[in-house]
């Protein structure tokens, strides 16, 4: 693997793709800076070698033109504080100002370019646009695992302009090492814990996991489509009716492959989608009309905990319930505790798969108690599905 460790950045201007797509509140304060902190080792290595850094990222979902609310200027102050230096800023990621500011950088300095997605050419993977970005630096580093599954100008196409000087940053290397460990070298028993809202988002992942795991735990909103498919009553719980046949098919496939599937035994139901709703426990498939399942129940927690604690490899993607509401976060919290216990007491390797599971682990302050929390949601899923990530291929080829 071509990592920055193998290179001396002295007097180089490194064009570094980072994922600074951090959540901001209404006053543009960063509410979770994990992605920025995760990129610091790479930036500091380049600076310590005596190089300079040109950072490029996207933020939010602008519609192909500049939008003040998605300006990366909002994060400039925090980035400067984190790096303990004054980061320079170019109001446009290409054009004369960016060219001049990049040309004037001296070793030890950092320049942040404005949001790449202010140009539709970024997501289109436009080669001319990628060439303009490439002209700003003389070495390319990709440290943006969160966008590695996209063949965008800054994540993949730009690498073509650096045939012999393109590298993975430390974050990318660490993410790939941990994903590979779980995907190809998992110590058994290997348990995957799937949750979240929709079965449809996770079908490919579940199918590819069936060839690898010993146990598959299914909770969260998607478990109700399985319950209904098996003939249960699910009230107004989340349902993807058109996916019911597929749920039954997945259960059959699992059986044929000797994978043990664990579905919820009971569920916490609510009379409305509200933290203060009336709630009660019922068995799976016995949800009265007008009630909805928002969390896993105590019997399920005991069952899932038992399986998790016996595992040596754990992959967790998706919460067990609506963990954003405190009254329906117990199941997700209990599963997080079980993953922590397996990691600490059973020496299990636990990979938390980005997105909402990462948000849940962060909410419970357990990030340091599991083996690794991925910064990539979609990227990790696609890697686990066996797809080649364009951002990775671009560096490797």
32 binds ligand AMP, rule: CB under 6 A: no
Q: Is 355 in the site for ligand AMP (CB under 6 A)?
A: yes
Site string for ligand AMP, 204-243 (x = CB under 6 A): ----------------xx----------------x-----
Q: Sheet of 52-56: strands edge to edge?
A: 88-90, 110-113, 52-56, 13-17, 139-142, 166-168
Q: How far, in Å, CA of 166 to CA of 159, rounded?
A: 6
**Residue 201 in the binding site for ligand AMP (CB under 6 A):** yes
Alpha-carbon distance of 151 to 130, in angstroms, equals 11
**Window contacting ligand AMP (CB under 6 A); options: 68-76, 97-105, 315-323, 387-395:** 315-323
35 counts as catalytic: yes
Q: Is 336 in the site for ligand AMP (CB under 6 A)?
A: no
Q: Check: CB of residue 1 under 8 Å from CB of residue 142.
A: no
Residues 161 and 172: their CA atoms lie apart, in Å, by 20
Closest to ligand AMP by CB, 173 vs 193, is 193
In the residue annotation, 333 being an active-site residue is answered as no
- Residues 277-296: x where in contact with ligand AMP by CB under 6 A, - otherwise, as a string: ----------------xx--
Task: Please identify which of the residues 35, 45, 166, 228 carries the catalytic annotation.
Answer: 35
Is residue 169 among the annotated active site residues? Answer: no
* Residue 198 annotated as catalytic: yes
Considering beta carbons, is residue 50 or 288 the nearer one to ligand AMP? 288
Q: Of 195-203, 210-218, 225-233, 251-259, which segment contacts ligand AMP by CB under 6 A?
A: 195-203
Tokens in use for 283? Answer: 């068995």
- Sheet of 372-373: strand order equals 260-262, 215-218, 190-194, 313-317, 349-352, 372-373
- DSSP annotation string for 56-67: E---S---SS--
DSSP character string of 125-157: T-HHHHHHHHTT-SEEEE--GGGTTS--TTTTG
- Contact (CB, 8 A) for 362 and 352: no
d(CA 125, CA 142): 15
Binding mask of the shown chain, residues 82 to 121, with x at each position contacting ligand AMP by CB under 6 A: ----------------------------------------
Determine which residue in the list 51, 321, 353, 391 makes contact with ligand AMP, applying CB under 6 A.
Answer: 321
Q: Which residue has the tokens 């989340």?
A: 238
Q: Which of 355, 376, 377, 391 is catalytic?
A: 355
Q: Is 319 in the site for ligand AMP (CB under 6 A)?
A: yes
Q: Is 197 in the site for ligand AMP (CB under 6 A)?
A: yes
Q: Which residues bind ligand AMP (CB under 6 A)?
A: 196-198, 201, 220-221, 238, 293-294, 318-319, 321-322, 324, 355-356
Residues carrying an active site annotation = 35, 198, 355, 378
């Amino acid at each position: 693997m071509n990592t920055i460790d193998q290179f001396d950045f002295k007097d180089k201007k490194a064009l570094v793709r980072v994922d600074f797509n951090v959540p901001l509140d209404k006053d543009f304060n960063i509410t979770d800076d994990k992605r920025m902190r995760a990129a610091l080792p790479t930036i500091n290595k380049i600076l310590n070698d005596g190089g300079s850094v040109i950072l490029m990222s996207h933020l939010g979902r602008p519609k192909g033109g500049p939008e003040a609310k998605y300006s990366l200027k909002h994060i400039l102050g925090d980035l400067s504080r984190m790096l303990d230096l004054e980061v320079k800023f170019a109001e446009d990621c290409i054009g004369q100002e960016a060219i001049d500011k990049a040309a004037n950088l001296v070793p030890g300095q950092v320049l942040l370019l404005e949001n790449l997605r202010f140009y539709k050419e970024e997501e289109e993977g436009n080669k001319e646009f990628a060439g303009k970005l490439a002209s700003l630096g003389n070495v390319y580093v990709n440290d943006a695992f969160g966008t590695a599954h996209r063949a965008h100008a800054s994540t993949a196409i730009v690498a073509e302009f650096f045939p012999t000087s393109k590298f993975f940053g430390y974050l990318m290397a660490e993410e790939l090492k941990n994903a590979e460990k779980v995907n190809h070298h998992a110590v058994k028993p290997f348990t995957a814990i799937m949750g979240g809202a929709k079965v449809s988002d996770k079908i490919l992942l579940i199918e590819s996991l069936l060839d690898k795991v010993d146990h598959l735990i299914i909770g969260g909103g998607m478990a109700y489509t399985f319950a209904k498919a098996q003939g249960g009553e699910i009230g107004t719980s989340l349902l993807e009716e058109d996916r019911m046949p597929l749920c039954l098919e997945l259960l059959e496939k699992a059986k044929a492959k000797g994978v043990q599937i664990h579905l919820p035994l009971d569920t916490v139901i609510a009379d409305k989608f509200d933290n203060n709703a009336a709630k009660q426990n019922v068995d799976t498939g016995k949800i009265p009309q007008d009630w909805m399942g928002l969390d896993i129940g105590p019997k399920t927690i005991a069952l899932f905990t038992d399986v998790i604690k016996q595992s040596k490899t754990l992959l967790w993607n998706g919460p067990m319930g609506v963990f954003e509401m405190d009254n329906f976060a117990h199941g997700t919290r209990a599963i997080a505790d079980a993953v922590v216990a397996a990691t600490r007491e059973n020496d299990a390797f636990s990979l938390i798969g980005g997105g909402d599971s990462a948000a849940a682990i962060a909410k419970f302050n357990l990030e340091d108690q599991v083996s690794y929390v991925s910064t990539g949601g979609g990227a990790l899923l696609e890697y686990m599905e066996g797809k080649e990530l364009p951002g990775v291929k671009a560096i490797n080829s």
